[in-house]
Every structure is written in structure tokens, then in C-alpha cells.
């Protein structure tokens, strides 16, 4: 089976490596020369056309819906270059209506489409242990099977239409974004109360106030390490999509809206590309309280 991976960033690079490890014949493409040069798990293609023209499955791992649209529908893009019957896996987080629109256009061109947002981070991508939230026609899902298996520890099959996977991902992102902001708010609240912050992490992770994000992100704050594992701008984007979706459905989501504002303030203070736990640095600045390594200025 031949797979192409379009986008070799921190997620795509690991996913391509996992596909190759599972025995698939992999070609990869990225617009960044230096990224392409590092890609040795498979064939580094010089163009999208070269990457996808012989592929059975094409995995798109770009940043957002607009980039997905570009690589799909550009002249010499995926739809123009892939053979009929090729299955496209679209992994970027996006609004469900974008996923539905892409699926309709891709299907009309004679290809298959799986709405396949991913969760799990770069380490799990490299290990082939992502969680994939898949939806699509049975024929598309079946063709994508070996690739899904190679890249994920768990693939949920959530329905037979594109957009359902994207919807589940947006529910997850609403919660994840709120939980990061709440974790940062709580740790600065604790700091202002003069508490031992490492002890706060220990006590909360064993208590009803715990979240996956509190447990995962507060160590970044305790280490004063804001090297991006996942950047602030991911959540200005994803909570922005939640905001758009809520507004168009006449649905109030005030807690997510507050969290979005905190990510926007953090981004606007120069920390958009820093780790998303940087929201704690914003709260600490506002509260004029110290966090570990709080002296480090945002770049």
C-alpha cells in the first residue's frame, strides 16, 4: 500500500514515520526545504503531484481548513493529481461544515474522503499511537484502514458522513481550551494565596478538580518552561472555531468565550507561538505575582 503525507510538521512527520514503520511505502511533502531534507523514513517528494500520483491513501496534516483547501484543490493539488479511487484522510482541526464541503468536492472528483481529526501530540504521532476521530463512508473508511491502524492506538468510527469527526474534535477542543485557561487561572490564584505550587499540582491531580490538561500543562508552569509543545495560537484558532460555530447556531458558550479571551490576550502580549501554558504568565503579569521563571519575558 502506498501512502502520501502532505505536511511534515511535528504531527505529520511522526505520522509518516509510523506509516513507514508499519510497512507502507510512504512519500512525504512539505513546503519547507529543511523539513523535507530531514525526512528519511520515506521518499521526499518535490511537489504534491509527485507525492500523491501513485498513492492509495493521502494523509493531509496541515494547520487548518484553509491550508487543507489549498493542498486539495490547487492546480497540481491532490484532487488534480491523485488517481481515481484514492482515499484522502483530512486531519486538520476545522469546522464541520468545511469538512462536509471538502468531502463533497473530493467525492465528486472520484476520490474518497475520511474526516479524520487527530489527538495526542507529537510523541504519540511518532509512536503510531494517536487517537483518530474518524467519519466517512464505509468504502472510504475501509480503504483507509491500514493507514488508520498504522497511525493510531485507537480510531473511533463515529459515523458515515464527513463532519462528524470534526464535530467531536471541536467538542474536545472546547473542553481542552477551557481546561488550560482554568488551570492557568487556578495556579495563579494559588500563587497569590502563597501556596506551594508543586503541592497544589500533587493535591489537585488526586482530587475532583483535576483535568487531563491541568495534570499535563501545570508542570510546564512549575518548570517555567514555555517551549511550545502545543502553542497558544492553536487555541486562539480552535476556540475561535467554537465561537463561530456557537454564534451561527445561536448557542451561548460563555465559559469557552472567556477562555478564548485569555488566549487572545496571551497571544497579543507576544506569546502566540509559546506553549499554551503561557496563559499562566499572562495571569501572573496581571496579578503581579511570581511564578517559577516568571522573570523570563515573552519573546
- Tell me the number of residues near its own copies by CB under 8 A: 66
Q: Which residue has the cell 518535490?
A: 46
Cα–chain center distance at 147: 18
The reply to whether 103 sits near its own copies by the rule CB under 8 A is no
Instruction: Pick the stretch among 55-63, 68-76, 84-92, 189-197 that binds its own copies (CB under 8 A).
Output: 189-197
Instruction: Looking at residues 265 to 294 of the shown chain, list those that interact with its own copies (rule: CB under 8 A).
Output: 283, 286-287
Instruction: Pick the stretch among 2-10, 44-52, 108-116, 209-217 that binds its own copies (CB under 8 A).
Output: 209-217
The reply to whether 155 sits near its own copies by the rule CB under 8 A is no
Instruction: Pick the stretch among 41-49, 71-79, 80-88, 253-261 that binds its own copies (CB under 8 A).
Output: 253-261
In the complex, what is the shortest distance from the CB of residue 276 to its own copies, in angstroms, rounded to a whole number? 11
The three grid cell numbers given for residue 101, joined into one nine-digit string: 464541503
The three grid cell numbers given for residue 268, joined into one nine-digit string: 497579543
The reply to whether 204 sits near its own copies by the rule CB under 8 A is yes
**Active-site residue among 154, 169, 192, 237?**
169
Taking the least distance from each CB to its own copies, the nearer of 108 and 249 is 249
The C-alpha atoms of residue 297 and residue 223 are separated, in whole angstroms, by 15
Q: Which residue has the cell 462528524?
A: 164
The reply to whether 98 sits near its own copies by the rule CB under 8 A is no
Specify whether the CB–CB gap between 232 and 260 falls below 8 A.
no
**Residue 169 appears among annotated catalytic residues:** yes
The C-alpha atoms of residue 287 and residue 76 are separated, in whole angstroms, by 52
User: What number of CA atoms fall less than 13 Å from residue 189's CA on the CB side?
Assistant: 8
Cα–chain center distance at 258: 21
Three-state secondary structure string covering 87-115: EEEECCCCCHHHHHHHHHHHHHCCCEEEE
Instruction: Pick the stretch among 20-28, 33-41, 101-109, 172-180 that binds its own copies (CB under 8 A).
Output: 172-180
The three grid cell numbers given for residue 27, joined into one nine-digit string: 512519500
Burial (CB < 10 A; 0-12, 13-18, 19+), residue 282, is buried
The reply to whether 262 sits near its own copies by the rule CB under 8 A is yes
Binds its own copies by CB under 8 A, chosen from 75, 84, 227, 250: 250
The reply to whether 188 sits near its own copies by the rule CB under 8 A is yes
Specify whether the CB–CB gap between 116 and 131 falls below 8 A.
no
The reply to whether 148 sits near its own copies by the rule CB under 8 A is no
In the complex, what is the shortest distance from the CB of residue 146 to its own copies, in angstroms, rounded to a whole number? 22
Specify whether the CB–CB gap between 119 and 131 falls below 8 A.
yes
User: What number of CA atoms fall less than 13 Å from residue 124's CA on the CB side?
Assistant: 12
Binds its own copies by CB under 8 A, chosen from 81, 90, 155, 216: 216
The reply to whether 172 sits near its own copies by the rule CB under 8 A is yes
- Catalytic sites, residue numbers: 169
Residues of this chain that bind its own copies (CB under 8 A): 96, 119-120, 131, 133, 154, 156, 158, 164, 167-168, 170-176, 178-179, 181-183, 185-186, 188-190, 192-196, 199-200, 203-204, 206-214, 216, 242, 245-246, 249-259, 261-262, 283, 286-287
Amino acid at each position: 500500500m502506498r501512502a502520501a503525507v502532505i505536511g511534515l510538521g511535528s504531527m505529520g512527520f511522526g505520522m509518516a514515520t509510523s506509516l513507514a514503520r508499519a510497512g507502507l511505502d510512504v512519500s512525504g511533502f512539505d513546503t519547507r526545504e529543511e523539513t523535507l531534507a530531514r525526512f528519511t523514513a520515506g521518499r521526499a517528494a518535490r511537489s504534491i503531484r509527485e507525492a500523491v500520483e501513485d498513492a492509495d491513501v493521502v494523509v493531509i496534516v496541515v494547520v487548518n481548513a484553509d491550508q487543507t483547501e489549498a493542498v486539495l484543490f490547487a492546480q497540481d493539488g491532490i484532487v488534480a493529481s491523485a488517481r481515481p479511487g484514492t482515499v484522502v484522510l483530512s486531519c486538520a482541526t476545522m469546522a464541520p461544515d468545511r469538512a462536509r464541503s471538502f468531502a463533497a468536492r473530493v467525492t465528486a472528483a472520484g476520490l474518497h474522503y475520511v474526516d479524520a481529526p487527530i489527538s495526542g501530540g507529537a510523541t504519540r504521532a511518532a509512536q503510531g499511537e494517536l487517537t483518530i476521530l474518524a467519519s466517512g463512508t464505509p468504502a472510504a473508511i475501509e480503504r483507509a484502514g491500514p493507514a488508520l491502524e498504522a497511525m493510531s492506538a485507537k480510531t473511533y468510527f463515529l459515523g458515515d458522513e464527513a463532519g462528524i469527526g470534526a464535530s467531536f474534535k471541536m467538542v474536545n477542543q472546547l473542553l481542552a481550551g477551557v481546561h488550560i485557561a482554568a488551570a492557568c487561572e487556578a495556579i495563579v490564584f494559588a500563587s497569590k494565596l502563597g501556596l506551594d505550587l508543586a503541592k497544589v499540582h500533587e493535591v489537585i491531580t488526586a482530587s475532583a478538580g483535576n483535568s487531563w490538561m491541568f495534570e499535563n500543562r501545570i508542570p510546564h508552569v512549575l518548570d517555567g518552561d514555555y517551549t511550545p509543545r502545543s502553542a497558544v495560537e492553536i487555541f486562539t484558532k480552535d476556540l475561535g472555531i467554537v465561537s463561530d460555530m456557537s454564534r451561527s447556531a445561536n448557542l451561548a458558550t460563555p465559559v469557552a468565550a472567556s477562555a478564548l479571551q485569555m488566549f487572545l490576550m496571551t497571544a497579543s502580549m507576544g506569546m502566540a507561538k509559546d506553549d499554551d501554558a503561557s496563559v499562566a504568565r499572562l495571569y501572573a503579569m496581571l496579578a503581579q505575582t511570581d511564578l517559577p521563571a516568571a522573570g523570563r519575558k515573552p519573546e
